[in-house]
Amino acid sequence: MMQGDAFIPGLCTNYLLGVQKSFLSNNNANETRIFAHVRKSNFKLPALQSHPIVMVGAGTGIAPFRAFIQERARLAKMGREIGRTILFFGCRNEAEDFLYRDELREWENTPELNLSVVTAFSRPSDGKKIYVQDRVREHADEVSELVVDREANFYICGFVTMARGVSNVFGEELRARKGWNEDELRGFMEKQKRVQRWQQDVWGCDILQ
């Protein structure tokens, strides 16, 4: 994106540069148009900044959560008390794909934000694959306590297969900790969605459906 004389990279920068290069080589033109559809997100922060939130995003799915943390950082500077905030973020490789790494680490080191950033890398240099649902399972004690006992908002953003994996893992952990049967778990999850404490913004095809 151009802002004055400055070039500001964003989530779509590499894609747009690739399209531009391909178009110019084929048409020898100076500019082109790319049609896009902008869809308003249904994601909303809780009305109270002291309310806990859990966010799970992979790849560009981090975008709305970065905005959430930015807003909470703004409120923290005003002296507001910020509720427990957990971000689970997954990408392929830490060195190449960790979007906003320095910014997130700076926020995590700000005590007033009460923030933990939990990462999962599916193509790490050491070869050990970790996915966000694995991290959710590792932190299931705190996450289940936040969601069930403290009514935290839970958000998922990314590919539908990732969202399904996270939902399945969280459901398994809730059943194990609460002793719920399948009907009790389903009733709880339906209520969470009905009162908008469980929100998803997902894309892609799920071959399991």
| Predicted pLDDT at 180 | 95
Q: What is the DSSP string of 2-55?
A: EETTEE---TTHHHHHHHHHHHHHHH--S----------------SSTTS-EEE
pLDDT class of 6 with cuts at 50, 70, 90: low
| Predicted pLDDT at 208 | 43
| Predicted pLDDT at 15 | 73
Pairing type for strands 6-7 and 85-91 reads unpaired
| Predicted pLDDT at 147 | 97
Pairing type for strands 85-91 and 115-121 reads parallel
Residue 12 domain-assigned?
Answer: no
Nearest Cα neighbor of 118 from 184, 196, 65 is 65
- pLDDT of 87 over the 80 cut: yes
| Predicted pLDDT at 70 | 97
| Predicted pLDDT at 38 | 72
Reported as a single tens digit per residue, the pLDDT across 21-74 is 766 666 655 666 777 767 677 788 999 999 999 999 999 899 999 999 999 999
169 three-state secondary structure: helix
- pLDDT of 78 over the 60 cut: yes
Nearest Cα neighbor of 148 from 65, 52, 69 is 52
- pLDDT of 174 over the 50 cut: yes
Looking up residue 185, the CATH number of its domain turns out to be 3.40.50.80
- pLDDT of 209 over the 60 cut: no
Output phi, psi for 60, to 5 deg.
-70, -5
The whole-model pTM stands at: 0.80
- Share the mean pLDDT of the chain: 88
Residue 119 domain-assigned?
Answer: yes
- pLDDT of 168 over the 90 cut: yes
Residue 23 domain-assigned?
Answer: no
Lowest mean pLDDT among 90-94, 144-148, 165-169: 90-94
Residue 21 domain-assigned?
Answer: no
pLDDT class of 12 with cuts at 50, 70, 90: confident
Residue 91 domain-assigned?
Answer: yes
| Predicted pLDDT at 207 | 46
Residue 167 domain-assigned?
Answer: yes
Report percent pLDDT > 90 for the chain. 66
Residue 127 domain-assigned?
Answer: yes
**Total domains in the fold of the chain:** 1
Residue 8 domain-assigned?
Answer: no
Cα 103 to Cα 29, 32, 100, 123, 173: the distances in Å are 37, 33, 5, 22, 31
Quote the domain boundaries for residue 191.
53-202
